Amino acid sequence: MAGNTFEQRMDLILDAGQTMLENGGEVFRAQQTMEIMARSLQLQEFHVYVLTNGIFASARSDNGDGLSMVRHVPLVSIHLGRVEAVNELSRELAQGQLDLPRARHKLEDARAIGSTPPRAERLACVVGSACFAFLFGGAWAEMLVAAVAGLLESVVCQQFGKRRINRIFTDIIAAGLGTLWALGVSFFLPTLDVNTATIGALMVLTPGVALTMGIRDIINADYLSGAIRLLDAVLIAGSIACGVVLAWLAGRGLGAIVW
């Protein structure tokens, strides 16, 4: 590798790690991928420390000059297709199938992989909510109510996400609207099992990925990143609980439920 590509190689490696983190990749996997790419690109004394929302890396060029880079990754969404594309890039780079320009081009292609269309997301929430209600013992009425509640939650999350509204408030509003819908239907259909319908709808909001990845990070001895992810999961779960409680209090005030 030519000396004048040193910063380009470093930039490629950090871009790859950032792409993995911001699309739901595990911390240890992002760090491992970056180290593989550094060896493949012949970077000397490459050291990297990856957190849930940040990357710190340093290396030494062929002429002895050192370079350090920092990346902040404030937002995390789930797009495992992009994560897999970066993994494939690192494997091809390690096998010598790519040079620097082609690797950069392939990384840009990976970052440009489209997200799931909004309609598909809403459909997944509808079907998922209905199926969870069925798993918890619900009949057709509970499944239908949970499906509509899941649709409401999906629309709220999508619209709030476009406006970059905090996830905590988004989950409170989404969980509250879904619960209020189930309570409102129960006012006209007393035989409806509100608990089953509500739980089925709330399952699509639960932080399963954050919880799982937090535990995996702790198992891999990355305690700081694991604690951050677990705290994120707890905050999301608490937000969902707050939304449900507020909806139940509102339903009690409107006479939809009687204690």
Q: What is the pLDDT of residues 36-93, one digit of tens each?
A: 999 999 888 899 999 888 999 999 877 777 889 999 988 777 888 999 999 999 999 9
Work out the burial of residue 194: count CB atoms within 10 Å of its CB; fewer than 13 is exposed, 13-18 middle, 19 or more buried. Answer: buried
Q: Are 93 and 20 in contact (CB under 8 A)?
A: no
Global confidence as pTM: 0.82
Q: What is the pLDDT of residues 163-181, one digit of tens each?
A: 888 889 999 999 999 999 9
pLDDT score for 3: 44
- Rounded (5°) CA angle 112-116-119: 140
| Domain ranges across the chain | 3-111, 118-254
